[in-house]
């Protein structure tokens, strides 16, 4: 039973199944792809602002979210936002069991409810997120709608069913083009040891932090920059970032990666960047049933049998990249899907997970050092 002051909210799957709850954040109706994230109670600010979630309605499996509030929009000495992974919330909608109304943290300047409200993103709480996750886990990700109504407003279930039924699969769009930078941005430390062009497919800011903190000048360019435009900066290496959506749609980035491989340019890719490099090598991509999203995903090196705990957020994966001269260097321990590739003779590698973490474990930060070393060893 809803109290009069509370806003009714509905989570509606495309097949007509729905869950009723209480709304927070923005009052509106949105559509998108429902996915679940197994992150703990920490890391929700980074999750909310991760561009890889563009077009998706995220279900958090942890029962309480928002307990340490929301940090201020501050920047570091390089002009990179400190506490978030982009300049705005990128998820389309947010689903939690309970949204904390009275957070406690010395950096907190607002509640999660206030944050979503000012960013015009709807949220729903007090629904059985375990039941929702079970559906996604057993049946695969679902397209649908999330609706938050005004207090006292009676939801029109039939109307919302129609909205959900007509909802577009966001993966049919070029989502990377929607979150990529529109202008070239430069981040330059004093006395840089090298120069990297980062092809922005929806990059998390902690990638920039990890690169610039290692003394690299970073030139961030839009998703549609050609190989010729990228190389006009005379970089020591090229980085292809993470991002949302189907990698097969990213035709320009695939062409860029193909040229990088052909010319033996030191390169590193993360997440969508892993997929793009694999496709540039002649491989293929496919959609996972429910994806890998969370901060506790184990990957294994098939040669050394060494394991790493990783942070992940992707719905697609790759195969058949071996014919392009690459070998698998990391594999998912749960479903044996690819988690990393490296060229056998050229300074090019990529991983499917997020070594920059934020949130998540720091097991794989060494990969940024490997990228730096590859540039130093360039002939």
What CATH number does the domain containing 321 carry?
3.40.50.880
Q: Over range 337-342, report the average pLDDT.
A: 98
18-25/122-125 β-pairing: antiparallel
**Same domain, residue pair 218 and 320:** yes
pLDDT of res. 203: 98
**359 prior amide bond cis, ω within 30:** yes
pLDDT of res. 288: 97
* Residues marked as catalytic: 271, 354, 356
Per-residue pLDDT band for 40 (boundaries 50, 70, 90) equals confident
Is residue 58 within 8 Å of residue 91, measured between CB atoms? yes
Domain that holds residue 333: 175-376
The 10s digit of each residue's pLDDT in 343-361 is 999 999 999 999 999 998 9
CA–CA distance, 62 with 39 (Å, rounded to integer): 7
Is residue 332 within 8 Å of residue 340, measured between CB atoms? no
Does a structural domain hold residue 2?
no
Residue 4 has pLDDT above 80, yes or no: no
Is residue 344 within 8 Å of residue 302, measured between CB atoms? no
pLDDT of res. 39: 85
The set of residues, in sequence order, having a beta carbon less than 8 Å from that of 158 and lying 6+ positions away, is none
Phi-psi region at 43: left, alpha or beta (left = phi > 0; alpha = psi -120 to 50): left
Domain boundary residue, one of 172, 189, 219: 172
Q: How many CA atoms, within 13 angstroms, populate the side-chain half-sphere of residue 185?
A: 17
The 10s digit of each residue's pLDDT in 228-258 is 999 999 999 999 999 999 999 999 999 999 9
Residue of 282, 297, 281 whose CA lies nearest to 352: 297
**Same domain, residue pair 301 and 321:** yes
pLDDT above 70 coverage of the chain, percent: 98
What is the number of domains present in the chain? 2
**Same domain, residue pair 167 and 208:** no
Is residue 75 within 8 Å of residue 185, measured between CB atoms? no
- The helix (run of H) or strand (run of E) holding residue 217 is strand 216-221
Could you tell me the CATH number of the domain that includes residue 125? 3.50.30.20
Q: Over range 81-95, report the average pLDDT.
A: 97
pLDDT of res. 2: 46
pTM for the structure as a whole: 0.96
Residue 5 has pLDDT above 90, yes or no: no
Is residue 48 within 8 Å of residue 89, measured between CB atoms? yes
């Amino acid at each position: 039973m809803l109290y009069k002051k509370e806003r009714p909210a509905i989570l509606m799957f495309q097949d007509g199944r729905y869950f009723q709850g209480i709304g927070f954040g923005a009052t509106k109706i949105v559509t998108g792809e429902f996915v679940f994230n197994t992150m703990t109670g920490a890391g929700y600010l980074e999750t909310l602002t991760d561009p890889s979630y563009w077009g998706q309605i995220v279900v958090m499996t942890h029962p309480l979210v928002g307990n340490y509030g929301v940090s201020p929009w501050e920047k570091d000495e390089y002009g990179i936002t400190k506490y978030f992974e982009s300049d705005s919330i990128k998820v389309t909608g947010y689903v939690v069991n309970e949204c904390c109304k009275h957070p406690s943290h010395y950096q907190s300047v607002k509640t999660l409810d206030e944050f979503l409200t000012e960013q015009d993103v709807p949220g729903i709480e007090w629904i059985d997120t375990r039941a929702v996750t079970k559906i996604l886990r057993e049946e695969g990700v679902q397209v649908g709608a999330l609706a938050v109504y005004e207090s006292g407003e009676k939801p029109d279930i039939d109307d919302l069913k129609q909205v959900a039924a007509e909802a577009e699969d966001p993966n049919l769009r070029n989502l990377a083009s929607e979150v990529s930078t529109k202008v070239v941005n430069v981040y330059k430390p004093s006395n840089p040891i090298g120069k990297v062009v980062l092809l922005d497919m929806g990059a998390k800011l902690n990638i920039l932090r990890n690169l610039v903190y290692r003394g690299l000048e970073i030139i961030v360019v839009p998703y549609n920059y050609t190989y010729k435009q990228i190389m006009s900066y005379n970089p020591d290496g090229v980085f292809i970032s993470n991002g949302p959506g189907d990698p097969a749609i990213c035709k320009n980035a695939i062409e860029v990666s193909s040229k990088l491989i052909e010319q033996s340019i030191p390169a590193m890719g993360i997440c969508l960047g892993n997929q793009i490099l694999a496709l540039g090598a002649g491989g293929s991509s496919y959609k996972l049933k429910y994806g890998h999203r969370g901060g506790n995903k184990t990957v294994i090196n098939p040669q050394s049998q060494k394991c790493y705990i990783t942070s992940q957020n992707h719905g697609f994966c790759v195969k058949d990249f071996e014919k392009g001269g690459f070998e698998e260097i990391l594999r998912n321990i749960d479903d044996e899907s690819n988690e990393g590739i490296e060229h056998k003779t050229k300074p090019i590698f990529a991983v499917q997970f997020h070594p920059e973490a934020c949130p998540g474990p720091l097991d794989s930060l060494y990969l940024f050092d490997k990228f730096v070393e590859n540039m130093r060893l360039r002939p």
